[in-house]
Structure formats: structure tokens, C-alpha cells
Amino acid sequence: MQQNNSVTEFILLGLTQDPMRQKVVFVIFSILYVGTVVGNLLIIVTIKSSRTLGSPMYFFLFYLSLADSCFSTSTAPRLIVDSLSAKKIITYNECMTQVFSLHLFGSMEIFVLILMAVDRYVAICMPLRYPTIMSRQVCTILIVLAWIGSFIHSTAQIILALRLPFCGPSLIDHYCCDLQPLLKLACMDTYKINLLLVSNSGAICSSSFVILMISYIVILHSLRNHSAEGKKKALSTCTSHIIVVVLFFGPCIFIYTRPPTTFPMDKMVTVFYTIGTPFLNPLIYTLRNAEVKNAMKKLWHVKITSESKR
């Protein structure tokens, strides 16, 4: 990566400087990260192995779980390792790579959540045309477009990051590299770059949130004409989606749609949507979804039965 500065590495201050609290951070975030990876991999394996989970909703849930695992992996392992390190050094190239991966998988999660809302809208508002509109070929094309859109967004972010000149100090008051904390260290007027950041990441977060909430309001309004059983099933699915949307987009909008200022709570807000939400998503989608729970039970019953026969 081409450097526009004299700084070759940064020092991450992390979540806390206190040695005892760093040990607590290590334990808590190790549990959260392992839970995130195991929970999302369990959903991925279950969807791939189950014949009953072949609908577009679970096709998109597969990619949401994949994005969640990668999104958490872009920040959590370094936070865990750094919590036991005396000096939390990250090289310039590693920092830029983290910026790219954070925005690649973060924006992928946003696009998949939008696709899941589209799927629910078509399923509930256009049930007769649903198999045609949301065919496997269409879903595959939509996912490919989501990856392309995510790559374009993260490329735009890394271009902004690479344009920032750094001449010291190299202390990042954060646990990961992102544009907001990096703007504070840049040896230039960052007003224009911050405007680009808000118009890119901020616009994606806020506009996507508005679109999603409007779509779910329309979906919930259309449920008036459904049977009691159909309402119950649709409400359960949509409620799960709405919870995930609010948990992810609330912190995202708070971080990316404001002037270049930092608050003491920024690090904890970032923790919530980069590590907390990917951990909660598998719990939300499995605990509130009978089909996923039943598929998991069948999968593990078959595994245990086959192992016992050996």
C-alpha cells in the first residue's frame, strides 16, 4: 500500500489502560468471539445440511451469518490479543487492511439485511408471485450484486484512508483502525474527507435504515388481510429482522453520520455493532425461529446417531 506519510505503525490504546480491566476484556471478548463464530457457523452448517431450509430467507440468512463471522473477525481477534499485550502496535498496512475488511463485511451485512427485507415484502405482499420473483437464480444475482456493492464501498473507504498524511503522534484512541479515529491523527484539514465519509458510510447507514423501517411498516400493515396463523408466523419472522436492524443500524448511524468529533462512548458503541451484534444475531434468529431450531435438532440427532452406530 502506498503511504502518504512518515508513520509506519500505530499504537492502539484499546478499550482500557488498566491491567486488571484488560484481563476482564480478554475473558469477556474471547467468550463473545467464540460464541459469535460457533453460533454463526452452526447456522451456516444447518442451512447447508437441511432440506427444509431451502427458501430464499434462509439463503440470505446463510450469507448474513457468513458476513457476521467475518465482520467480527476483522476486529475481535486483535482486541483479544492486544488486551494481553504491553504495547498494542499495528503496522500501517495492517491498519489499512482492517479498514478495508471492516467496511467490506459491514456493508455486506447491510445489503443482506435489505435483501432479507425485500424477501419478506415479496413473500407477504405478493405470495402468488413469490416463487417466480425470488427464484434461486434471482437470489444468487442479488447476493453477487451485494458483494460488488460492498467491494465498491470498502474500496472508496480505503482510498480516503490512503489519502490521509500522518506525521505523528501515532496513538489511536481506539481498539481498531477506522476512518473516524484516523482522521484525528491526520496532518491536514480533514473537513472535506469527513464530508465524503458522511456522504458514503453515513448515507449508506441512514438511508438503508429508513428503507428497511419503511419496508417493515408496509409489511406489518399488509398483515391485516392474513389469517391469524399467518400473522403469527410473519410477525415472528419480521420481529427478529427488526430487532437485528435496530441493533446494527443504531450504533452505525451514531458513528458515521456526524461531524469529525469523538465522544468517550465511541469505543463501546463500536464494540456493540462490530462484536455485540454479530454475537446476538444467531441467538435472535434461532430462538425466535422454530424452523431453524427444528433443523438444528434433526442435524445433531443424525450426527449423534451416526456416531453411536460406529
Domain ranges of the chain: 9-308
Q: Is the pTM of this model over 0.85?
A: yes
pLDDT bracket for residue 299 (50, 70, 90):
confident
Indicate the fold that domain 9-308 takes in CATH: Rhopdopsin 7-helix transmembrane proteins (1.20.1070)
* 2-6, long-range: CB < 8 A, 24+ apart: 2/162, 3/92, 4/162, 4/163, 4/164, 4/165, 5/92, 5/164, 5/165, 5/166, 5/167, 5/187, 6/166, 6/167, 6/168
**Which of 140-154, 188-202, 248-262: highest mean pLDDT?**
140-154
User: What gap in Å lies between CA 177 and CA 96, rounded to an integer?
Assistant: 7
pLDDT bracket for residue 31 (50, 70, 90):
very high
For the cut 90, the answer to whether the pLDDT of residue 24 exceeds it is yes
Alpha helix (H) residue ranges in 163-289: 179-183, 191-197, 203-222, 228-256, 266-271, 277-287
For the cut 60, the answer to whether the pLDDT of residue 3 exceeds it is no
More confident residue, 171 or 310: 171
For the cut 60, the answer to whether the pLDDT of residue 1 exceeds it is no
The predicted pLDDT at position 207 comes to 92
User: What gap in Å lies between CA 259 and CA 197, rounded to an integer?
Assistant: 10
